[in-house]
Chains A and B, each alone.
Chain A
Amino acid sequence: MSRILPRPDNVKRPSAAVIGAGNWGTVLADLIAANGHPVSLWCRREDQAREINRRRTNARYLPGIRLHRNIRATHRIDEAVTGKELLIVVIPSKAFRDVCASMGPLLTPDQLAVHATKGFEASTHCRMSEILRQETCLRQLGVLSGPNIAPEVAQRKPAGTVIASRFPAVVQSATALLVSSRFRVYTSQDVLGVELAGALKNVVAIAAGVASELDLGDNAKALLITRGMAEIRRIGTALGALPETFAGVAGLGDLIVTCSSPLSRNFRVGAALARGEKLPEIVASLGMVAEGVNTSAVANEIMKRHSIDAPLFDEVFRVVHQGDDPSTALERLMRIAPHADVR
């Protein structure tokens, strides 16, 4: 059953806005644009919006990439979000709530949103979908997450991702806008699992950076990935996620790429720590946000609260937040009493 309401509505055709013009937000906007859809891209700074509109580049975050002309950048949030069918929010966890709060008064209940931020809010431990729920009237929400190193996708290399939502309209709308012959989309209903998989793997990525810098070899890396996955799944299922989510593209898929690619920010943080650099300098020199640093602290709180045993997460926390020496941490990990592999 379907009828036109008496009140006319400004949403007539699929339209989208990407909120946040960091590297991943910009790439997502570019994917949508290349599929032939007009897309708004909200930038925090006006000069960045001007650069994207005039020069079709986003030099700070995606050097050397030419952006599609269907992208319309703006630094005005009202212009970006008003009347859009789908919002894709890609804002670092630290600023996520503020941006949601500024969108709040502009949104209507028929709008859909997914976010693509892999982290928790530090002070509240909220997931990003929870923040969207708290700050806006939106209900039809989802998450996009997967093995997506932004520069690779920007160079049109093949990749895939997961869009998870309990609302079919969200999955359909986001998929229709993003899917192409170089970008596959898998769907899921496990919003919680996909959010946790994406956020938690950043902690393991820091360990992978350490392992790589200490030149521990590929055997060690495989160990790190599988044991890391076991811990992620343990934490995730304790919070109510479906265990199978962690074996999928957003789980194992994302973990593998993050632990393998030296391009990943969290990996770079780990490598720098292993070289003996200090956290504040590392973060400053990165120029972008490494969510794994904050997620490590949040995960530690969660583990305490739920009495979850996750030695790898423990050690990353001690190295990142308590200044422990990475080699000592590694030794401690190796000396854990033998136990069953798969439980």
Chain B
Amino acid sequence: MQWEQEDRLSADMVARVVARKVAEAARPGGRPLAEVINESLYHERERLARQGDGSGVVSSDSLFLAAIRKELPRAGRAQEILLLTRIVERYAREIGGHFNPLVYGLATRAIPVGLSVVLSGLSPLRALRNPESLVRLSHQVTLVGDREWLGRLASRGTLVFAPTHSSNLDSVVMGYALYRMGLPPVAYGASIHLFNNPIIGLFMRNVGAFAVDRRKTDPLYRESLKEFATLTLESGRHGLFFPGGGRSRSNRVETRLKLGLLGTPLSAFYNALAAGRPSRIFVVPCTISYPLVLEASTLIDDYFQEAGRARYIIEDDEFSQVRRWLDFINALAALEQQVVVTFANPLDPFGNDVDFEGRSLDPRGRIIEPERYLLSRGTLREDRERDAEYTRDLAHRLSASFHAHSVVFPTHVLARAALRVLVRRFPQLDLYRLLRTLTPDTPLQLPEVESETVALLDRLQQLEADGRIRLAPRTRTGSGQLIHEALRSFGSYHIRPVVERQGSRLTIGDANLLVYYSNRLDGYGLAGDSSLTEVPE
């Protein structure tokens, strides 16, 4: 029976997407189906050309496209609908093919076990028999959030978790965090290459994930994906997606969120209302804060390369190297550093606050009926432009929440302070030239960095008092101790120490990483933002 459910999800998705395209084509001035199909073929051919592995082997994708292309010119209307259906069905198989509702139900158990396997280097069988291996992870992750509130909302509606995205470890950490919070398992869209990752691939299929291929630019694919995500929410499954899209390359807290996926809670809310069985949907902003980031080097290097913009997927980064994982986990453990996961106040699909019972509140805290945002003269009305605006409002609320709950670690403070000192010393250089100028011999006087650190901490404490950021306990011990902690962190995991102390001087070992950790404090109106954002497009 479970497998039937899965099929139904995919089938519903295909039916909806095709029906929408057919209806749009029938409208006066609407796009003919042949054009939609041609566009799809075009995008897919381009993608295959970009991805070409040079082996000369004809992929099944190319064969499929060739077949459609051959039939299209002779196709009548009925035949066109059939061709369109075949394309969307193919997408459905890829997106939902890994999604197993049976496993979705088991995921609460699968995730933490899988995690501890990864994090402890145990064999899966030993981990299953030895739940204490979980203990280790619990030392490394701190959870913040109102579990009673979220649990209550989970029983009254559908939760959609929307975390910040710094590392591929986020999926694992979120899975663990949900489990520890006593929250239900989630269906979520995971980048398709994670399914092939040597470490995590094994249990990716076991966490209720559906596959997302961000290399596919075909609008029809994107629409299919959104529809699938919407349907999982409508079916009452809790969801998770990273609204920033990929990992933050720069390490800035995300401000530009992907509105397509962010609109799915509202679509699901609308569809349920239209079907006469209203349901509640809550979006939970989550902030994951790392003192060190596993893939920091690859991400910032990619960010600094213009070519990196097209490189959506990095398959050969630290995340696929068992060794780097272990180094990372061990470094965190040795430093007694915590990854902090914050579950912030939940929102409705329009970006309104909700109360303990899940009722929507207006900006002054009065209870309102959110379904009325979708009415026109008392009637439910579809209006995509309107809904896109609501989704934009939701995005603003999420981004503000991300910033407010982001945790500042000593690494961020020291990186920022050191970079500020350097920028001041070379005022005529833009960031790029500054980075190229720096060598391990470029000395920084410790007292200068320390007084910059004191000033920065002062500003950060003001921000914290205003509820606009959080400071980790280890930033509260005074600037000297903070710098000491940061230097220890910087020297422990990264291949070259980011910053190192030599007597009363500091030297820069990895300037890119210095920028990376400093960037976490961008977007708060602190001095130094503008000079750091001068990255050529």
If A3-B274, A109-B372, A110-B372 touch, whether A104 touches B366 (CB-CB below 8 Å) is: yes
Q: Does B129 contact A (CB under 8 A)?
A: no
A5-B378 in contact (CB<8A): yes
A-binding segment of B380-388, B409-417, B466-474: B380-388
B380-A3 in contact (CB<8A): yes
Within 8 A of A (CB), among B344-388: 350, 352, 362-364, 366, 368-373, 375-383, 385-386
Q: Which of A110, A134, A135 contacts B373 (CB 8 A)?
A: A110
Chain A residues within 8 Å of B375, by CB = 5, 9, 110
Chain B residues within 8 Å of A4, by CB = 378-380
If A3-B274, A4-B379, A137-B363 touch, whether A166 touches B385 (CB-CB below 8 Å) is: yes
Cα of A140 to Cα of B379 in the assembled complex, Å: 16
Within 8 A of B (CB), among A9-33: 9-14
Q: Which residue of A lies closest to B382 (CB)?
A: A1
**Chain B nearest CB, measured from A313 CB (Å):** 23
If A105-B366, A109-B368 touch, whether A167 touches B380 (CB-CB below 8 Å) is: no
If A137-B368, A139-B393 touch, whether A110 touches B376 (CB-CB below 8 Å) is: yes
**Chain B nearest CB, measured from A30 CB (Å):** 24
B363-A133 in contact (CB<8A): yes
A167-B366 in contact (CB<8A): no
B373-A139 in contact (CB<8A): yes
Within 8 A of B (CB), among A124-155: 133-137, 139-140
Q: Which residue of B lies closest to A105 (CB)?
A: B366
Q: Which of B350, B364, B371 contacts A104 (CB 8 A)?
A: B364
B378-A108 in contact (CB<8A): no
User: Which residue, of A5, A137, A169, has the highest number of chain B Cβ atoms within 10 A?
Assistant: A137
Q: Does B304 contact A (CB under 8 A)?
A: no
Proximity bits, B270-301, A CB within 8 Å = 1, else 0: 00011010000000000000000000000000
Interface residues on B, range: 20 to 34
Cα of A167 to Cα of B374 in the assembled complex, Å: 12
Cα of A265 to Cα of B389 in the assembled complex, Å: 36
Q: Does B203 contact A (CB under 8 A)?
A: no
Proximity bits, A204-248, B CB within 8 Å = 1, else 0: 000000000000000000000000000000000000000000000
**Chain A nearest CB, measured from B27 CB (Å):** 14
Interface SS of chain A: helix, strand, loop or mixed? loop
Q: Does A85 contact B (CB under 8 A)?
A: yes
Cα of A108 to Cα of B371 in the assembled complex, Å: 10
Within 8 A of A (CB), among B301-351: 350
B372-A108 in contact (CB<8A): yes
Within 8 A of B (CB), among A153-171: 166-169
Q: Which of B273, B362, B378, B389 contacts A137 (CB 8 A)?
A: B362
User: Which residue, of B273, B371, B378, B381, has the highest number of chain A Cβ atoms within 10 A?
Assistant: B378
Proximity bits, B111-137, A CB within 8 Å = 1, else 0: 000000000000000000000000000
Q: Does A2 contact B (CB under 8 A)?
A: yes
Chain A residues within 8 Å of B382, by CB = 1-2
Cα of A14 to Cα of B380 in the assembled complex, Å: 16
Chain B residues within 8 Å of A108, by CB = 368-369, 372
Q: Does A8 contact B (CB under 8 A)?
A: yes
If A1-B274, A105-B366, A133-B363 touch, whether A167 touches B386 (CB-CB below 8 Å) is: yes
Cα of A4 to Cα of B347 in the assembled complex, Å: 27
Q: Does B390 contact A (CB under 8 A)?
A: yes
User: Which residue, of A2, A12, A109, A166, has the highest number of chain B Cβ atoms within 10 A?
Assistant: A109
User: Which residue, of A5, A6, A13, A14, has the highest number of chain B Cβ atoms within 10 A?
Assistant: A5
Cα of A307 to Cα of B380 in the assembled complex, Å: 47
User: Which residue, of B350, B370, B379, B390, has the highest number of chain A Cβ atoms within 10 A?
Assistant: B379
**Chain A nearest CB, measured from B347 CB (Å):** 14
**Chain B nearest CB, measured from A182 CB (Å):** 27
B362-A104 in contact (CB<8A): yes
If A104-B366, A109-B370, A135-B363 touch, whether A169 touches B376 (CB-CB below 8 Å) is: yes
Selected A-B contacts with CB under 8 Å, 6 pairs: A3-B380, A9-B377, A109-B369, A109-B373, A137-B368, A168-B386
- B residues lining the A interface (CB < 8 Å): 273-274, 276, 350, 352, 362-364, 366, 368-373, 375-383, 385-386, 389-390, 393
- A residues lining the B interface (CB < 8 Å): 1-6, 8-14, 85, 101, 104-105, 108-110, 133-137, 139-140, 166-169
Known: A1-B382, A109-B368, A139-B390. 10 other contacts (CB 8 A): A1-B380, A4-B378, A5-B371, A13-B377, A14-B377, A85-B377, A104-B362, A137-B366, A167-B389, A168-B385
Complex A-B, nearest 4 residue pairs according to Cβ-Cβ distance, in ascending order: A9-B378, A137-B362, A109-B372, A110-B372
